[in-house]
């Protein structure tokens, strides 16, 4: 109690006790694009499964729509979401979110900018900033950060209008400003996977691309001993002509006199079965990305119930990403409304992820209504008196709806 009284007299807590002390003006810089980010770019280029998974997450997160209590502001917000210019070639809030989320998943950080017109009274467009040119500097308190640009490549300069910037971090560590990429922890696994694929290619070069060994064994005659070199050269020339004719689709027989032996090099070897180690590496990648295998074209054996559970887990993952993106959208909507002269607040309503969610929600509402009628018989009598057909609200209908 005495501590609370002292805090009230002093105006409340002025700093976080467990935070580290702010560092000098240009020290304590946290770059958004580190060496690990270069590795993550390489993973997306070299491992198609990773690139496909991140693209699918961006599409599955879905679209959203603004909601506002003011009808006039609602119309302007809807028009803004559909027609806002994004960068030089895109349009619409969905384009901005896709690029924003892609940067967030790949690098762990994403920065966007609200660009105003020259008069400063309207939003001209939205811009997805390149994290390679941005750094964060610690502020005067743990709740403050300063976003700086490195345009001249020498000294970071604070952004002149930080209120027009939006920033998100993915799963930042305690006490840290920057987030962590979704691909963190995968470089080692992907390196092993690339080595397996490289060895498979080398084995196919050795075994699948046939090579022949033509051996001429001279007998004990004086003629063979004297002209063995010339005979071997003639056999090699004729064999090369026969192989060259086969490339152009012509069938040419090879005829040799004497003891000539022809064998395929590497025909007695077999390719190492790489299915098990490749699947082990892919399982680690899938577990990290949170995407069900069947969405990535991996035909692993699974049951219908397991697929449903994987879909539920994916839904929770997508909801987590939506919770990160919602404050960004609210910030953009607030700036738009204030510039247009509206004092109301906006809300973000996300689309349902798939039709299966619609069916599950409908079944849940039906079952809750049936349970309410069974627990309160008076409501059932009122429904019968008003002409409602309570017999059609049996549990069998819920099962039928679920089956449909």
pLDDT digits (tens, 9 = 90+) for 312-329: 777 888 888 999 999 999
Burial class, 124, CB count within 10 angstroms (exposed 0-12 / middle 13-18 / buried 19+): middle
Mean pLDDT, residues 244-251 taken together = 73
What is the percent of the chain with per-residue pLDDT over 70, rounded to a whole number? 75
- Low-confidence winner among 186-195, 338-347, 350-359 (lowest mean pLDDT): 350-359
Residue 326: its pLDDT value, please? Answer: 93
Q: Mind listing the pLDDT tens digit for each residue in 69-91? A: 999 999 999 999 999 999 888 89
Question: In the chain, what percentage of residues exceed pLDDT 90?
Answer: 22
Q: How far is CA 29 from CA 72, 106, 111, 357, in A?
A: 44, 21, 16, 44
pLDDT at residue 207 is higher than 60: yes
Q: 404 has which bridge partners?
A: none
Single pTM value for the model: 0.71
| Cα(73)–Cα(231) distance, integer angstroms | 94
Please report, in angstroms and rounded to a whole number, the separation of the first and last CA atoms in the chain: 62
**Among the listed residues 164, 118, 168, the one whose alpha carbon sits nearest the alpha carbon of residue 336:** 164
Give the list of residues 6+ apart from residue 149 with CB closer than 8 angstroms, or none: 133, 134, 156, 157, 159
The two structure tokens encoding residue 279: 């699947």
Mean per-residue pLDDT of the chain: 78
Higher pLDDT, 204 or 64: 64
At residue 400, the pLDDT reads: 40
Task: Specify which of 211-215, 291-295, 339-343, 390-394 reaches the highest per-range mean pLDDT.
Answer: 339-343
Label residue 107 by pLDDT band (50, 70, 90): very high
Per-residue pLDDT at 197 exceeds 60: yes
- Is the per-residue pLDDT at 155 higher than 90? no
Calpha distance 61→93 (Å, rounded):
13
Would the pLDDT of 29 be above 60?
Answer: yes
Q: Give the span between the Cα atoms of 206 and 199, in whole angstroms.
A: 11
Which pLDDT value is given to residue 138? Answer: 74
Q: Give the pLDDT score at 235.
A: 80
Q: How many CA atoms lie within 13 A of 101 on its CB side?
A: 26
What confidence category does residue 347 fall into, taking pLDDT thresholds of 50, 70 and 90? very high
Report pLDDT for 19: 59
Cα distance between residue 64 and residue 14, in whole Å? 39
* Report for 173-187, 200-214, 375-389: range of highest mean pLDDT: 173-187
Sign of CA dihedral 92, 95, 98, 104: negative
pLDDT at position 371: 84
**Is 4's pLDDT higher than 50?**
no
pLDDT of residue 330: 93
Res 151 pLDDT > 60: yes
pLDDT value at 24 more than 50 = no
Question: Above 70 in pLDDT, residue 122?
Answer: yes
pLDDT at 268 over 80: no
Average pLDDT over residues 98-116: 92
- Give me the pLDDT at residue 96, please: 93
């Amino acid at each position: 109690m005495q501590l609370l009284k002292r805090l009230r007299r002093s105006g409340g807590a002025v700093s976080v006790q467990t935070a580290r002390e702010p560092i000098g003006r240009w020290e304590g810089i946290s770059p958004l694009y580190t060496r690990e980010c270069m590795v993550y770019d390489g993973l997306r280029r070299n491992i198609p499964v990773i690139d496909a998974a991140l693209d699918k997450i961006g599409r599955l997160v879905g679209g959203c729509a603004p909601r506002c209590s003011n009808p006039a502001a609602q119309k302007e917000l809807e028009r803004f979401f559909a027609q806002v210019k994004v960068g030089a070639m895109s349009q619409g809030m969905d384009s901005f979110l896709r690029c924003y989320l892609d940067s967030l998943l790949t690098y762990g950080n994403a920065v966007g900018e609200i660009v105003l017109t020259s008069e400063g009274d309207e939003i001209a467009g939205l811009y997805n900033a390149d994290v390679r040119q941005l750094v964060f500097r610690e502020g005067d308190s743990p709740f403050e950060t300063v976003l700086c640009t490195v345009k001249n490549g020498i000294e970071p300069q604070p952004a002149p209008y930080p209120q027009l910037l939006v920033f998100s971090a993915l799963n930042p560590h305690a006490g840290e400003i920057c987030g962590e990429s979704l691909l963190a922890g995968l470089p080692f696994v992907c390196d092993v996977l690339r080595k397996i694929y490289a060895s498979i290619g080398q084995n196919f070069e050795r075994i699948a691309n046939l090579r022949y060994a033509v051996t001429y064994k001279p007998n004990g005659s004086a003629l063979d001993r004297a002209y063995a070199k010339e005979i071997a050269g003639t056999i090699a020339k004729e064999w090369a002509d026969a192989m060259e004719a086969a490339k152009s689709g012509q069938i040419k027989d090879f005829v040799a006199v004497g003891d000539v032996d022809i064998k395929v090099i590497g025909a007695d070897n077999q390719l190492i079965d790489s299915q098990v180690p490749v699947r082990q590496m892919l399982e680690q990648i899938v577990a990290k990305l949170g995407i069900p295998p069947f969405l990535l074209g991996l035909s692993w054996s699974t049951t219908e119930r397991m697929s449903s559970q994987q879909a539920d887990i994916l839904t929770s993952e997508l909801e987590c990403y939506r919770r990160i993106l919602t404050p960004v959208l609210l910030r953009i909507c607030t700036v738009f409304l204030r510039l247009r002269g509206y004092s109301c607040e906006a809300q973000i309503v996300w689309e349902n992820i798939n039709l299966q969610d619609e069916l599950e929600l409908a079944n849940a509402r039906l079952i809750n209504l049936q349970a309410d009628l069974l627990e309160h018989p008076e409501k059932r009598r009122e429904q019968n008196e008003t002409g409602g057909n309570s017999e059609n609200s049996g549990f069998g209908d819920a099962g039928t709806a679920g089956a449909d």
